[in-house]
Structure 1
Amino acid sequence: MRKIYYIILLVVSFGANAQQDAQFTHYIYNQLFLNPATAGSENVTRFQAIYRTQYLGYQSTFDDGGAPVSQVISANVPLKMIKSGVGLTFVNDKIGASTQRDFKLSYAYQMPIGGSQLGIGVSGGFFNRGIDYSRLRARDEGDPLLATGRVSQSAVDLGAGLYLNNPSYTLGLSMNHINEPKFGLGTAANNTLKRSAYLTGSVLIGVSYTVDVSPMFIIKSDLNSFSAEAGAIATYDGRYWLGASYRTGDAGSALIGANLMDGSLRVGYAIDVIVGGKNAKSATSHELLLSYSLAALRAGKKSIVRTPRYRY
């Protein structure tokens, strides 16, 4: 019986570690999720949501497995008066009977360096893991060693990062889960949330008066293994964009979107198609992006508008 207990625990732990953090194809537009140093870096107040369903239509052949479904909601505000930015991020990630929720606050000091801006950021919040054991099948019903019902646990989660932002390029380096929170989830064993390191970058290339191309990449690592993704996005007239990328050993992706309402509203869609590794029961993943930006907060007195019609 004890053997069955640890088999179930191993399966749950493997599922959490194989894709420890939620994965998003729109990573280039989702920097706050990866790096707290990006808070305020755009010099606009931005509200954003991304919804991702991975391996759409996949149904497990054993109980309540199923495909990962992830959402991230974020907001960040530049505080120009103190050369800083603040942000918050909420992530909801579900895989079968297990859930992961992450809520964190970010602060970044934005330091001018020549024609660039260097962000130095930290984040802190709570990471919650949960398992609904009632949705898993035990070989021996009523085994007293097996947990029952839904069990969840929260722990403090810390991160830090650097972000170099230039009109022609960006480069970011960050690490999440620095303190490696541990979760028991109703068992005597501890499952550790491993540190996640991210290196991201992009370059803006003006091809013509109306067309820009931006190569981009991301390298992800738990300090033992790593994965990489690279691609490019072409933008026409600053409004419409189309892109493609490849994730090593996994999938090719296509992205399409538009900047509407004078650039305040951003909408996007991405599709991943499995092209490497083992044959998947469902070969596609889909992602939707919705973002809205406002002008940065203003400080100080309202400026006086002088006209010939009205004297001072």
Structure 2
Amino acid sequence: MKNIKLTLLAITILSTCSLLRAQDPHFSQYYSNPLYLNPAFAGSNICPRASLNYRNQYPVLDVFQTYSASYDQYVDGLNGGIGVLVMRDEAGGGALSTTEASLIYSYHLKVSRKFTLLAGFQGTFRQRAINWDNLTFPDQIDPYYGFVLETAQRPPGSDIATNLDVSAGILGFTEKFYFGASFHHLTQPDEAFFQDGKLPLKISGQAGFTIPLGRQRIHNELQNYLIPNVVYQRQGTFDQMTLSTAFSRGPISGGLGFRTSTANPDAVVVLLGYAPTEGAWKIGYSYDITISSAANSLGGAHEVSLGYNFPCRVRKKRNEAIKCPKF
């Protein structure tokens, strides 16, 4: 079974290396990984914030896993937020891997008493690696003895491709709504192993509302909120739209999402969140129920997020944090 998985992966790698129509990894809990979604989110929480995210795509195959870690905070002296983001994506148990490390700055402009505009800039060191020894190919299969033949496929001249990348984003918000756009891979770096090829520009748009439900409570953590939001992304010839609604009451949150592309619907996403201490730990879990032509035979996708909001220092001026889903 493992050899079959790696064979499928080898075919995929050779296809993407030749045509380079690759897509960035995506997270269903995108607002639990805000710096990955849009660099303008850096410092939007005002208080220091750390996030960890893990995604296992198609667990039946056990070959696609993505890890992410980030930290950001608002800095008075810089009139904006700073952030650090590290991401690693593995296919085939590391046979094909992508590692990124980013530094982010987001400028915060108080346009009016109720409206704030953020502009984010991101510099990324990106490394893509292929472990040729972990791959098997169809021409290695003997009808009787299995994977025993030599392959005619030749490894690339280099098994590591490194480059520098630049991204940017913009974000506007009030207490009740937010909207933004991000532009990743502005430099369209060349990351092909076999021939020249550029990573396509990824354009993303985000918007959402925070709707209080019922009577306003004295203690904000007891207030009920409904938070509908939408994210649209396009990279090369691929596009994706996610429509979701989150519900939050005190430490408990939950939500449903629907992800689709122009070609076909992809998945229904079920999300659950729990924050045992307001302003401190936040834990989220989501499951993607695949509804595309692949059905759910590959196990959909599991995703776990862990966030921590550090205590704020006494501030000279007051800024509002963006009210996003608490996943």
TM-score, scaled to structure 2: 0.80
Contact (CA 8 Å) 1:78, 1:296: kept in 2 or not?
Answer: no
Q: Which residue of 2 aligns with 1:181?
A: 189
Task: Find the partner of 1:84 among 73, 80, 84.
Answer: 80
Task: Find the partner of 1:156 among 141, 144, 164.
Answer: 164
Structure 1 residue 10: Cα displacement: 3.5
Task: Find the partner of 2:27 among 10, 24, 39.
Answer: 24
Aligned residues: 284
Contact (CA 8 Å) 2:32, 2:307: kept in 1 or not?
Answer: no
Q: Which residue of 1 aligns with 2:306?
A: 290
Q: Residues 144, 283 of structure 1: CA spacing in aligned structure 2 closer, same or farther, 3 A cutoff?
A: closer
Q: Which residue of 2 aligns with 1:93?
A: 89
Contact (CA 8 Å) 2:71, 2:84: kept in 1 or not?
Answer: yes
Contact (CA 8 Å) 2:21, 2:236: kept in 1 or not?
Answer: no
Q: CA separation in 1, counterparts of 2:232 and 2:246?
A: 18
Q: Residues 198, 153 of structure 1: CA spacing in aligned structure 2 closer, same or farther, 3 A cutoff?
A: same
Q: Which residue of 2 aligns with 1:305?
A: none
Q: Which residue of 2 aligns with 1:193?
A: 199
Q: CA separation in 2, counterparts of 1:7 and 1:296?
A: 50
Structure 1 residue 34: Cα displacement: 1.7
Contact (CA 8 Å) 1:132, 1:150: kept in 2 or not?
Answer: no
Structure 1 residue 157: Cα displacement: 0.8
Contact (CA 8 Å) 2:101, 2:125: kept in 1 or not?
Answer: yes
Q: Residues 252, 245 of structure 1: CA spacing in aligned structure 2 closer, same or farther, 3 A cutoff?
A: same
Q: Which residue of 2 aligns with 1:121?
A: 120
Which stretch shifts more, 28-37 or 266-275? 28-37
Aligned residue type for 2:186: I
Q: Residues 149, 268 of structure 1: CA spacing in aligned structure 2 closer, same or farther, 3 A cutoff?
A: farther
Q: Which residue of 2 aligns with 1:136?
A: 135
1:28-76 deviation per Cα after TM superposition (whole angstroms, max 9, x unaligned): 2222112111111111100110111011122xxxxxxx53100110000
Please list, as runs of the form range in 1=range in 2, the aligned pairs for 1:44-123 lying within 5 A after superposition. 44-58=47-61, 66-96=62-92, 97-114=95-112, 115-123=114-122
Q: Which residue of 2 aligns with 1:231?
A: 244
> Identity of aligned pairs, percent?
22
1:108-141 deviation per Cα after TM superposition (whole angstroms, max 9, x unaligned): 1000022121111110021111111112224376
SS in 2 for 1:10: helix
Q: CA separation in 2, counterparts of 1:276 and 1:105?
A: 36
Structure 1 residue 224: Cα displacement: 3.5
1:158-195 deviation per Cα after TM superposition (whole angstroms, max 9, x unaligned): 1001011221111110011110010243x3x1232111
Q: Residues 171, 8 of structure 1: CA spacing in aligned structure 2 closer, same or farther, 3 A cutoff?
A: closer
Which stretch shifts more, 271-280 or 291-300? 291-300
Consecutive unaligned residues of structure 2, counting only runs of 5 or more, are 1-9, 141-148, 216-222, 317-327
Q: CA separation in 2, counterparts of 1:8 and 1:71?
A: 21
1:236-267 deviation per Cα after TM superposition (whole angstroms, max 9, x unaligned): 13x21010000011100111111222221111
Aligned residue type for 1:240: I
Root-mean-square deviation over aligned CA pairs: 2.5
Q: CA separation in 2, counterparts of 1:27 and 1:85?
A: 19
Q: CA separation in 2, counterparts of 1:14 and 1:51?
A: 29
SS in 2 for 1:194: coil
Aligned residue type for 1:227: Q
Aligned residue type for 1:119: L
Q: CA separation in 1, counterparts of 2:255 and 2:269?
A: 8
Structure 1 residue 144: Cα displacement: 8.0
Pairing 1:216–2:216 present: no
Aligned residue type for 1:291: G
Q: Which residue of 2 aligns with 1:35?
A: 38
Structure 1 residue 231: Cα displacement: 1.0
Pairing 1:247–2:231 present: no
Consecutive unaligned residues of structure 1, counting only runs of 5 or more, are 1-5, 59-65, 301-312
